[in-house]
Structure 1
Amino acid sequence: MHITRLNIQRVRNLQTVALHELQPFNVFYGQNGSGKTSILEAIHLLATGRSFRTHIPRNYIQHDTADAIVFAQSATEKIGMQKLQSGEQLIRVNGDTVATQGQMARILPLQLMDPLSTDIIDHGARPRRQLLDWLMFHVEPEFYHAWQYYSRALKQRNSLLKSRRHLSLDDLEPWNRMLGDYGEILHSQRVEIVEQWKSRLQEDLLQLLPDLQIQLEYSAGFHVEQGLYADLIQHHQKDVDRRYTEYGPHRADLRLKTPLGDADVVLSRGQKKLLIMALKLSQIAMLHACNRETVVLLDDVTAELDLTAQQRLIERLSQLGSQVFMTTLDQQSVKKHLHELAISYRLFHVENGQVHVVVP
C-alpha cells in the first residue's frame, strides 16, 4: 500500500494534519520539537497499533482529549485507527471494523529506520527475534497461524507453572505436545527464511559495510538434534522450579558474528547503525521479491550518516519500490540526493505542529 492521503488528529502537538498527493519520498523538515517525528509516530501507530517512542497512549494522545485518530488512503484501500486513552482501539479497513492489528499490518508493511538506536544489536535477543518475526509474518503465509497456536499453548503452560508449585509431567502433557508440534513447525519455517535472508543481507552489507565480514546465525531456542518435546520433558523439573518455560522458539536468537567476535563487541557505533540498516534493507528486498512493497520511516537519518551513506540508502529504497517518510534538519542535502537520483518527492515544512507543503 502506497499512501496517497494521510490525516492525523490529536497525536502529540499535531492537532489536525491533512496531507494529499503523497509521493514515493516525503520529506519533513523543521526545528527539533516541531512535530516531525510525531508524523512518523502516527503512521507507525496506524500500521502496528503502537508508538515507537512510548508504550503509554496518554503520552502521545493530546492532553485533555479522549483519543487520537490516524487515517490513510491509497489507490485501492482506506484504513483508519482510533486510539483511546485507555489503550483500546478501533480499526477500520474500507469502512469495515476489523478485529486484529494483524489485518492492518498485512495491508501496510512498515519498517522503521532510526539510526540513533542500536538496540537490535546491543540489547539481548528479543529485538532481534522481533525483527525476524516481522519478516516471517510478511513472507511466510503459514507463520502467523502456527505462532498463534504456539503462543496460546505457551501462555497456558506458563500460567500453570506460575500457579502451582508441584506439577507432574501428566499435568503439562497437553501443552508439552502442542508446544512441541507447533514449535517444530515454527523452527522449520524460520530456518528456511533465514537461509534466504542471509544471501540478501550479504548484498546490502557489500554496499554499506564493504570492508567487513559479517555472518547471520540463527539459534533455535532449543536443542534441535533431540527436538523441543524432548527438551520440555527432560527439563521439566527446572521449568517447575523456575516457573516458566525455558526452551522453545520464544527463546530463539539471531547472532551477528565477525571474524574477530560478536558484532555487539567488535563493531563501532557507526558500523552498528549501518549493520541495522543492512538488516532492514535486506528484509525489504525479500518483501519486494514477493511483490510486496514496504512503507519506510526514516527518522533524522541525515544527522547520523555521511553524504555517501545517505545517497546509497535513498537509492536502495527507491530501487526496492518503498514509499519513504523521512525527517531531517538538513533538507538541502536530501533534496540534492533526490534530484540527482531523479526520485519523485514532496517536501513539507513542520512548525509548531503545523505542516505546510513547500513548492520546489
Structure 2
Amino acid sequence: MTSQNAKVLFSLGAEAVGSLKDGANFKKNPEDGKCYIIYKDKSIDVLKACKNQCKHQGGLFIKDIEDLDGRTVKCTKHNWKLNVSTMKYVNPPDSFLQDELEVEILDDGGLQLVELSPVDPWLADPREPEELQEGEVKVTYITHACMELQFGETRFMFDPWLKGPAFARGWWLLHEPPADAMDRLCSADLIYISHMHSDHLRYLEQSQVPLTNINVVPFGVWQKVNEHLRFMILMDGVHPELDTCLIVEYKGHMILNTVDCTRPNGGKLPNNVDLMMSDFAGGASGFPMTFFGGKYTDSWKETFIKNERVKLLNYKSALVKSLEPKIYCPFAGYFVEAHPSDR
C-alpha cells in the first residue's frame, strides 16, 4: 500500500515483469517519456530501481558493454558508471549514491515504482522563533560572495575571496574588502566554503592560516554549533558534484544562502525565511565566451549573454516570489573581468 508521502512514477504489468532479464533493464514511461532502470537478480530474488538520470549532470545511462554481469550502466554524458545492484557510482568511486526507488509488487503480479517524499530536512527538530535583542544578529557584506554573520558572540564567514585574482587572473574583485577583513576571517568561529571555485576560497588558498578543523558535512542534516545556532548544507540539483547552499538557524530564525546553486536542493527550499541571500550574476571565463571563430562571433556572444542574463533574472525572481522570504539580498556577483572575451 502506497503511503501518503509517496508518488507512483511508473507501472509494469505482470507479463512485462515476467520478461525482465537478470541485470539492468531500461524502461520508458510512454505517458511522460521519463526513463527508469530496474535491476533484477534472480538468484536472490531482488528487484531494485532508480531513475535513469546520472547524478553528475543529469545524463542518460546506457548498458555498460564492459560489464558482462549487467550490474553496471554508463552515462552518455561523461562516462560515469553506476552499479545498480548497490546504487553506488564506481567511476569515479566514492562520489555519490543513486537515489533508489521503492519497488512495490502488486497482487496481479505487476509492479510499480514509487518515489518516497520524505519530510523536508529543515523541518526536523523544529524550533519556535525567540525574541532577539537589537544588534544580536548582524549581517555584513565583505566583497563578492563573502558575507559575515554574527550571532551573539559567534561569527560565521562565507566564501572568502578577499585578495588577488581568481580563475587564472581572469576575475578581479570589484569592491575592495574592509581593511580588517582578513583579521575577521582569521578569528571567525566558522568558515563555510560552498564549492571549490577560486572566487569562493581564493584567500584561503593564498594565506598561511592553519586550518586544523576541516569538516566535510553531510547533506540535509542539522549541524549543531551551540545551544542556539545550527546550520544545514544542501546539494545543488543540477551540479551536485560542485555546488552547495546553506541554511543557518539562530534561535528559530532562518537564513538561507543559495550562493551559486543553479537549482538548490532540486528546487525544494524553506518558505518565509527571515533572510534569503543569493548570487545575481552568471559566471564568465568559460564556454562559449572563451572560444573564437565559427559561430562564436562578437554579435553571437552578445546575444547569448543577453539571453542568459534574462533567464537567470527570471529564475531568481520566480524563486524569491515562490519562497517569500521576509528580506531578500542578492549579493554574490561583484567582479570585473581581465579580458574582453570574459564579459
Q: Which has the larger radius of gyration?
A: 2
User: Do the structures match in fold with TM over 0.5?
Assistant: no
Q: TM-score, length-normalised on structure 2?
A: 0.24
Structure with greater contact order relative to length (CA < 8 Å, sep ≥ 6): 1
